[in-house]
């Protein structure tokens, strides 16, 4: 039986992880075995720069954190080495970075993930990872809205130029 201090520390870890999970809009669970310290450092830096919280977690701690929640269906993935990446704002960042990393590292695998509090399969995570960043998506939408306005402005300018040249 673990002593009271160890038990209290583990309960605190479960509570902190539960809070992070509830605040996250998306999360990706990975099997990180076989990566080097240098690769891990590069990965963590890129995730941090994109606002993604990445941590290695014990399967038992993550299992207790998701127990009784909508994320309990992720328990099948709690085997072997486990790390979790959580994003509170960007839906695509964690999936995009981790899927790209998994493509170039043989032993690094995406196990499962969640989106808006619902467990999704690996194919959904990979599809999410193929989406461009939020900024690129917003720029694309802005361009789509701006294009007709710009075309109208060019047409009006052409009419003005034609009338000026006729005079």
Q: How many domains does the chain have?
A: 2
Angstrom distance (rounded) from CA 135 to CA 52: 16
Q: Are 151 and 71 in a shared domain?
A: no
Angstrom distance (rounded) from CA 86 to CA 117: 12
Please tell me the pTM assigned to this model.
Answer: 0.73
Measured distance between the N- and C-terminal CA atoms of the chain, rounded to whole angstroms: 97
Burial class (CB in 10 A: 0-12, 13-18, 19+), 144: exposed
80-136 confidence digits (pLDDT tens): 888 999 998 888 888 999 999 988 888 888 989 898 888 888 888 888 887 766 676
The partner residues of 52 in beta bridges, in order of sequence, read 87
Residue 132 structure tokens:
């461009």
* Structural domain boundaries enclosing 136: 132-167
Sign of the four-CA dihedral 148, 152, 158, 159: positive
Q: Are 96 and 154 in a shared domain?
A: no
Q: Are 153 and 109 in a shared domain?
A: no
Q: Are 141 and 101 in contact (CB under 8 A)?
A: no
Q: What is the mean pLDDT of the chain?
A: 84
Q: Are 141 and 115 in a shared domain?
A: no
Name the DSSP class of 89.
S
Q: Are 154 and 84 in a shared domain?
A: no
Q: Are 72 and 113 in a shared domain?
A: yes
Q: Are 154 and 126 in a shared domain?
A: no
Say which residue the tokens 């499962």 belong to.
Answer: 112
């Amino acid at each position: 039986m673990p002593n009271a201090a160890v038990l209290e520390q583990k309960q605190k870890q479960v509570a902190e992880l539960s809070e992070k999970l509830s605040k996250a809009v998306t999360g990706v669970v990975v099997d990180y075995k076989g990566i080097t310290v240098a690769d891990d450092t590069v990965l963590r830096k890129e995730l941090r720069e994109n606002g993604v919280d990445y941590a290695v977690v014990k399967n038992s701690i993550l299992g207790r954190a998701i127990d009784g929640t909508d994320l309990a269906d992720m328990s099948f993935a709690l085997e072997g080495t486990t790390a979790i990446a959580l994003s509170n704002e960007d839906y695509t960042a964690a999936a995009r970075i981790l899927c790209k990393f998994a493509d170039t590292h043989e032993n690094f695998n995406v196990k499962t993930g969640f989106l808006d509090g619902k467990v999704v399969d690996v194919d959904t995570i990979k599809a999410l990872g193929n989406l461009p960043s939020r900024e690129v998506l917003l720029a694309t939408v802005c361009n789509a809205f701006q294009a007709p306005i710009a075309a109208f402005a060019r047409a009006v300018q052409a009419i003005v130029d034609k009338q000026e040249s006729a005079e």
